[in-house]
Structure 1
């Protein structure tokens, strides 16, 4: 969500340079951009009292035309203006066992009440829109599908811009790449098992931190030794080069609200093998090979097709670049503004 918040704000400011925005940030959070029409203020503390009582009181005093939350939540007390929330995914309601415990205030109260009270909801995919309808009875009169975008930083890069990153991370010439926090819904066991059964396998590179409920998988990865390279912390500025260096990206997730990682890889000209669940088919289209996240054999076959058939890899590179170009933050910002302007007109 941090990427979404940063990119959508920048694109919205560019799309409406005369609009005045007040952006509330947590204490010590980095400002995403400097612009003459953007004012920054701090979300008051302490955490619960500040966020749910003091903050909405300040918003009411400001009397804005609309409130927009890219993080999908409203304060518990009324902000007394039209509100728009972006809903990224509802996986925790589909499969709560994928997540760590200790989130009852958010999952049982804040999020449901926010979805119920919001004037309009932005879903980042048709899949998320379906979840909103099925789980919260949010109909098409309030739900607007606005896909995310891909930053211009993700593009094919020349070799001289890749060598430093390759050496710093000690990357091999050929490797399968996974990017993301390692957690149950990302479904790494299927990928690792499919990779292990390949006869002539390249190294597997896992770029992302260990998340939660990963203990058994972590033991298996450690037992495989140097065959798997784990990069627990990759800064965002290194991701374009990492995608460019990969032979292919593997994204076996059981569930995604959107699926930005496959799009970023495709924008870099990297072939993608993706899960065929939730939002992923609608995002990647026919520009990736799809496999069931439950089918190890299908994953092995798809990976081998990309790795060992130059024609398949070449076609995926071409299709992927074209597909990713359809998703821009400028388009997302324009469509978001239309939703905001629409609800602002509903003010009494």
Structure 2
């Protein structure tokens, strides 16, 4: 089987969609090595170069020109004999020739419909049109959670039978045990507290970091935040200064994947009170790191966290505060939940996901 991928995000996105794209191709190339995997894009980058070294993965330089991704990439995949074209980020090419090819699209979330206040009018219209068109054109759709599947049915009016849920995993670094020397080096480099709670993700309204800062206000619990700052950060900064919390909250940027994996393992608690997610990869990363998770009881987050994570109302700072303090003060409860969470997260390992993907592709063919 020859499978072509829209590799724009594979090569040029550092997080979210890029990580999904790279992990999907990596695990397929390892666990389904008899297939050929074609990465189509106008150019490549250093990202994912170790995956390109696999003998069954090939970069295909696609046609140049304006809108070539929409108008020419599909035909390029057909020209190279692909059996399946997989759009990894909610989009499919608009133009194809008459040669047979099956079309698959992964849809991660429809947050732009659920939370329009986070997007401009123009972006909402463009996103909706692209996702709707891709969903209608695709032979089958992959949703990364049951929540996303429900949203595709509700908002894009796509039959449920056309959609399969296949969860995503996370980077291998979170599943490995770093050496004590490396762990200590990371702790020293970033001046991490002896004990701390951790939050990871872009610092934006939807991720709801301000609620975490409010929840720990008046406690002695240190918070470490790893993520890119947006305009929303200024709200948090004002609250921190007003309440003299500068020494309690540490912000980190430019952290490598291996360093981030170490920071997860060093944390006592991972807190992720997002209002809405398509899936919530940081929750999976924390569970693989054997770090107890406190997250929202909304959207897909209970799917990612399992029954032994701690769930809070993201609109209720007092609920979060009480549960954080309880877990912080109870080592035996933390250990119990860490072990149970680690058992649960094995379903998101590479091999079972690769098997699901191959079953999905083979059904289409």
TM-score by length of 1: 0.91
Q: Does 1:122 align with 2:142?
A: yes
Aligned-partner Cα distance in 2 for 1:27–1:211: 28
Tell me how far apart the structure 1 counterparts of residues 208 and 39 of structure 2 sit (CA, whole Å).
Answer: 36
**1:322 is matched with which residue: 337, 343, 359?**
343
Tell me if 1:70 matches 2:88. Answer: yes
Match for residue 35 of structure 2?
19
Of 337, 345, 356, the residue aligned with 1:335 is 356
Check if 1:175 corresponds to 2:191: no
Which of 53, 70, 73 lines up with 1:55 in the alignment?
Answer: 73
| Aligned counterpart in structure 1 of residue 105 of structure 2, from 85, 102, 126 | 85
Equivalent of 1:103 in 110, 123, 140: 123
Q: Does 1:293 align with 2:309?
A: no
2:161 aligns to what SS in structure 1?
A: coil
CA deviation after TM superposition for structure 1 residue 61, in Å = 2.3
Task: State the shift of 1:26 in Å.
Answer: 4.9
**Aligned-partner Cα distance in 1 for 2:97–2:35:** 20
What's the TM-score, normalizing by structure 2?
Answer: 0.87
**Which whole-Å CA distance do the structure 2 matches of 1:214 and 1:35 have between them?**
41
**Residue 60 of structure 2 is aligned with which of 18, 37, 41?**
41
Give 5+ residue unaligned stretches, structure 2.
1-16
Deviates more, 1:103-112 or 1:49-58: 103-112
Counterpart in 2 of 1:203? 222
1:245 is displaced (CA, Å) by 0.8
Given candidates 46, 52, 55, the residue that maps to 1:30 is 46
- Give the secondary-structure state (helix, strand or coil) at the position aligned to 1:103: helix
Once residues 108 and 256 of structure 1 are traced to their aligned partners in structure 2, the CA distance between those partners, rounded to angstroms, is: 17
Contact 1:151–1:328, Cα closer than 8 Å, also in 2: no
Please list the CA deviations of residues 185-225 of structure 1 after superposition, one character each: whole Å capped at 9, or x if unmatched.
Answer: 10112111111143xx2211110011354432343345532
| Deviation sequence 1:256-288 (CA, Å, 0-9, x none) | 111111121111111111111100112211221
Contact 1:150 1:324 in 2 (8 A): no
Map 1:128-167 onto structure 2 (within 5 A): 128-155=148-175, 157=178, 159-167=180-188
The 10-residue stretch of structure 1 (305-314 or 19-28) with the greater mean CA deviation from structure 2: 19-28
Q: Give the distance between the partners of 1:161 and 1:321, measured in 2 at CA.
A: 22
Question: How far is 1:132 from its partner?
Answer: 0.9
| Kept in 2: contact 1:19–1:37 (CA 8 A) | yes
| Greater relative contact order structure (CA < 8 Å, 6+ sep) | 1
Q: Aligned equivalents of 2:70 and 2:166: distance in 1?
A: 27
Deviations 1:141-177 (A, max 9, x none): 1110111124443245553331000011110101111
